[in-house]
Structure 1
Amino acid sequence: MPDPITTITLLIVGGGPIGIACAVEARRRGVDCLVLEKGTLVNSIYNYPVNMTFFSTSERLEIGGAPFVSHGPKPTRGEALEYYRRVAKDNALPIRLFEPVTSVERQEDGFVVQSDKGHYRARYVIIATGFYDIPYPLNVPGEELPKVKHYYTDPHFYAFQKVLVVGAQNSAVDAALETFRKGAEVTMAVRGPEIGQRVKYWVRPDIENRIREGAVKAHFNTTVTAIREQEVDLDTPEGRITIANDWVLALTGYQPNLNFLRRCGINLSNDAVCQPQVHETTYETNVPGLYLAGVICGGMNTHRLFIENSREHAVCILNDIVSRNRSGALSQK
């Protein structure tokens, strides 16, 4: 027998902060909704380093009017996880976790949504999938080895090991400093000439001083060319070198799942940004009834939108859905 089909007014793809914000706003407006999340709740934040501190202050991460109180001037990963769990629980949000969405198909009366666990019919769909799920690959021999990690969590794991950190933005710098302070022998491979300009202002002097004193070795204008079980090859300005190595933390950034948007029928710009086509005030895409929310609206420009400047997408989208729902019909474009 075929799987039963669940019918819902609004289906939200993605259970991160912005997906949760959309669900809170939907419940507030009396719109029945369902959130499908391929991982755990706020999966991207869960994958942040365990000791991470946000750049933003807590009030700028608030959603749905719920206060976010942190112990310090800037909240930690653990505090953020607790906050978003509380928001989801207090609002009794209908969230199905560990259920990846595989397709969103527009039909005359709405959408058919397929996940790896069920079938859904929805009048409207919001995609709020962020950008943290697909790491940029190094594309070098040996990248498939178990010693190569594209996510960094706990520094203790790397104690007394030889660690190569690839990258020079916030995640890479945090990993280099934290593993160094747990006793790792840390080398950084940086493609550019310096530590990234977007590194948190209170962290940048720390890593620069550790490099200057030689506690953390750094090779600038350098790329990884090969990875083996016990060593790594680097192309440096002085030529190719081989260093002993136990672990590679390839923290070179992440990208949104643009192929999923294309499969949903969303138009993307024909340039490097791949900007999705969205209305500037309603965030509806070129597919009637299908909306984008959060950082995914920026395409490959993943540093333009954050929680703090995209949380209002939820209000804008639900304004449009409620208005349209009263009329009883999707717009025809």
Structure 2
Amino acid sequence: MNEVEVLIIGGGPIGLACGIAAQQAGLSYVIIEKGCLANSLYNYPVNMTFFSTSERLEIGGVPFMSLNPKPNRQEALEYYRRVQESYQLNIKLFETFEKAERLGDQRYAVITSKDRYIARNIIVATGFYDIPVLMNVPGEELPKVRHYYKDPHFYAYQKVLVVGANNSAVDAALETWRKGAEVTMVITGTEIGQRVKYWVRPDIVNRINEGSIKAYFQSKVTAISEHAVDILTPDGLVTVQNDFVLAMTGYMPNFELLKALDIQLSDNEKRFPSFNHETMQTNQPGIYLAGVVCGGMDTHTWFIENSREHAGKIMQNIVVSNK
């Protein structure tokens, strides 16, 4: 088996930051990523623009140069690739974590889809974008239903139903509408989400007000069929003819992975994982959390810019523990 002091699960921005911190601390490490480099960012919509400015997305002291005040997905992918080039991090792509077993000498035996490792410490930096929150309605398994939205061109001239009222839903609604789609939105609340990017929110509100995009507020999808969707509205049940459903209902961390590592989760709906905010160590010795995964279902607490510091906290604690 390959033996390292730190095994990092997740090769996104925070996983890379942890790798850099381990490298700078002189610790042997490996990063395991089940997809491509910065896999979650790769799965963002192709036209996605970050809310943050480029300097707040920087890691490892590598400057992030953007053509615009707020960088887009493509610029971010190129930036994090350049970070990898700069540090030559020990990262294993398209390799999935499978399980870990605690050994008697305070080490962990880790099995992945491609290899086996012995690690003194494990960092979970898996984010939250890989598992969608389901609507749990009949027909949700149909091929026409998508929980990820990529490119608006695919939906040109189609009848598109968008579920949700936050950034992902608003971007999907506006972009597909501008490609000629007939767009309907289903929103559980009374208005478009207040967290929608401030330069985008007026656009969607105006499109709804003028009738270009139809929106059902205080409503929910109750069933999906091959050519239609049933929507329960305050005025009763409405059936809308439909080609595609974009269910932008949010995402959640991989709780099964956390439970497999015996990390405690809170009993409430937020399912907060247990960890020390000073060291980022969980209730399991030698297992740490970094990044968005720390927030459980409260996925609007942690972002790249306010969780970059997790890497330094973790490495400092590991170095102190090794003395």
Measured in 1, the distance between the counterparts of 2:292 and 2:239 equals: 39
Alignment of 1:6-21 (within 5 A): 6-21=2-17
Partner of residue 18, structure 2: 22
Question: Are 1:230 and 2:227 an aligned pair?
Answer: yes
Question: Are 1:64 and 2:52 an aligned pair?
Answer: no
Question: Are 1:121 and 2:113 an aligned pair?
Answer: no
Measured in 2, the distance between the counterparts of 1:128 and 1:323 equals: 21
Partner of residue 159, structure 1: 156
Q: Deviations over 1:228-270 (max 9, x none)?
A: 1111111111111111111000001001112211110111222
* AA in 1 matched with 2:271: C
Measured in 2, the distance between the counterparts of 1:176 and 1:282 equals: 41
SS of the counterpart of 2:262? coil
Q: For residue 106 of structure 1, report the CA deviation from its aligned partner.
A: 2.0
Partner of residue 140, structure 1: 137
SS of the counterpart of 2:24? helix
Question: Are 1:220 and 2:238 an aligned pair?
Answer: no
Measured in 1, the distance between the counterparts of 2:72 and 2:3 equals: 38
Q: Deviations over 1:140-161 (max 9, x none)?
A: 1111111100000100000010
Measured in 1, the distance between the counterparts of 2:134 and 2:42 equals: 21
CA RMSD of aligned residues (A): 0.9
Q: For residue 42 of structure 1, report the CA deviation from its aligned partner.
A: 1.0
Q: For residue 104 of structure 1, report the CA deviation from its aligned partner.
A: 2.2
SS of the counterpart of 2:3? strand
* AA in 2 matched with 1:78: Q
For residue 92 of structure 1, the aligned residue among 88, 97, 106 is: 88
* AA in 2 matched with 1:42: A
Identity of aligned residues (%): 62
SS of the counterpart of 1:9? strand
* AA in 2 matched with 1:222: S
Partner of residue 313, structure 1: 310
Measured in 1, the distance between the counterparts of 2:289 and 2:109 equals: 17
Measured in 2, the distance between the counterparts of 1:104 and 1:261 equals: 11
SS of the counterpart of 2:122? strand
For residue 108 of structure 1, the aligned residue among 79, 101, 104 is: 104
* AA in 1 matched with 2:31: V
Alignment of 1:271-290 (within 5 A): 271-290=268-287
Measured in 1, the distance between the counterparts of 2:66 and 2:104 equals: 47
* AA in 2 matched with 1:250: A
Measured in 2, the distance between the counterparts of 1:36 and 1:121 equals: 13
Q: For residue 191 of structure 1, report the CA deviation from its aligned partner.
A: 1.0
Partner of residue 291, structure 2: 294
Measured in 1, the distance between the counterparts of 2:215 and 2:242 equals: 14
Partner of residue 193, structure 2: 196
Measured in 1, the distance between the counterparts of 2:280 and 2:174 equals: 39
Question: Are 1:244 and 2:236 an aligned pair?
Answer: no
* AA in 1 matched with 2:84: A
Q: Deviations over 1:69-104 (max 9, x none)?
A: 111110100000000011012100111111111112
Unpaired stretches in structure 1, ≥5 consecutive residues = 328-333
User: Aligned residue pairs: how many?
Assistant: 322
More divergent stretch after superposition (74-83 vs 277-286): 277-286
For residue 261 of structure 1, the aligned residue among 247, 258, 261 is: 258
Measured in 1, the distance between the counterparts of 2:265 and 2:133 equals: 20
Q: Under a length normalisation based on structure 1, what TM-score does the superposition of the two structures give? A: 0.95
SS of the counterpart of 1:295? helix
